[in-house]
Amino acid sequence: MKTKKLLITLIALVTLVGLTAADLPPRPEPAPPPALAELSLVIFADRSQAQVGDTVNFTIIVYNPSIKVRGTSVLGLIPKELEVVGVSATQGSANFKPASNIVNVSIGAIQYAETVTITVKTKVIKQAEVGTKYYTSAKINYKNHFLSTQFFSNWLAVTITE
């Protein structure tokens, strides 16, 4: 009810003084939406075939071609038939959660034109079945939101051979 009375009062005041819309100051343009980061992510392995006991190294590369991004992390999905021996990153902290077979790398801020490289060293365990392809992938999270345009990186297969 107060809003309605205020509006009627303003209309009466403008009419009384003789103002027109042309006499009013220009309305400000709405602010543009905030720029969104367009991070890119790719994963590759040093081999596409492996035997039980072999080492398979995965490399995840995160590149930022746009604005600075804070609170960035990467989740890597590792098949349980590949035992994670080590995880490292050129920036941030990396860890592996054996219960879920997820590599989690907390990168933090990524500047414009910056690249972060994550290396995951794995070993094929005896439970891996010969002739089976095991897939892995990764995804980016920043400011507690996964990128809507890229749910996962490319999916990568490693085939177990004799």
- The token pair at 152 is 């996962």
Domain 40-148 grouped into CATH 3.40.50.2300: no
Q: pLDDT digits over 44-61, tens only? A: 999 999 999 999 999 999
8 Å CB contact between 155 and 87: no
d(CA 38, CA 40): 6
CA dihedral over 105, 108, 113, 114, signed as positive or negative? negative
The domain spans of the chain are: 40-148
pLDDT tens-digit series, residues 101-147: 899 999 999 988 899 999 999 999 999 999 999 999 898 887 755 55
0.75 exceeded by pTM? no
